[in-house]
Amino acid sequence: MNILFAVLSKKERVKQLDMKKERTFVMIKPDAVQRGLIGEIISRFERKGIKIVAMKLLLVDKQLAEKHYDIHRGKPFFEPTVEFITSSPVVAMVLEGNNVIETVRNMMGTTDPQKAAIGTIRGDFGQYIGRNIVHGSDSTENAEFEIKLWFKPEEIVEYTRIDESWLFE
């Protein structure tokens, strides 16, 4: 039990436990990097109060791309998706926040940008399913797998943001 938790009232402790602190893996795909949308996308997550705990720009090799999309192996879009993701740099991130896996998926919008709601990242910036701007883990299991696949433990940074006491109830 940390010191802060120990001094909280019972009601406050229950609230703290209600918060589902999670991490998710997010990738800004080559189309968004090429179109100068890195700042716009990161800014949306920042403004939501989501914390960036790891981030890097990299050119993805075929082996990493195939491991990342392994669950789609054998599907018709597997090869084109691997080719696309390795075609130009991406920005890989680990994001942390309350229920962040679902929150990021909601902020991204549905897979096909044509169907994604306006106001979501894909809905606002994309037009084609194979050029859909951003990736976010879709479950706790996949988030864990993808974070381990893309980042070494020492690349993930624990820190406190100055706005945290104003963000959490």
From the CB of 24, what's the least distance to ligand RTP, in Å? 10
CB of 9 to ligand RTP, least distance (A): 40
Measured CA angle at 78 (ends 76, 81), to 5 deg: 120
Which candidate in 23, 29, 68, 135 is catalytic? 135
How large is the C-alpha radius of gyration of the chain? 17
Shortest Cβ contact with ligand RTP: which residue? 111
The full DSSP string for 36-72 is: T-HHHHHHHHHHHTPEEEEEEEEPPPHHHHHHHTGGG
Cβ neighbours of 125 (radius 10 Å):
20
8 A C-beta contact, residue 94 and residue 54:
yes
Among 124, 138, 144, 155, binds ligand RTP (CB under 6 A): 138
Task: Measure the CA–CA gap between 107 and 123, rounded to whole angstroms.
Answer: 10
Which position among 129, 144, 145, 155 is part of the footprint of ligand RTP (CB under 6 A)?
A: 129
Tell me if 127 contacts ligand RTP by CB under 6 A: no
**Minimal distance in Å, beta carbon 95 to ligand RTP?**
13
135 has catalytic annotation: yes
- Which residues make beta-bridge pairs with 21? 98
- Does position 140 bind ligand RTP by CB under 6 A? no
| Residue 52 makes contact with ligand RTP by CB under 6 A | no
Contacts with ligand RTP, residue ranges (CB under 6 A): 72, 77, 81, 111, 129-130, 132, 135-136, 138
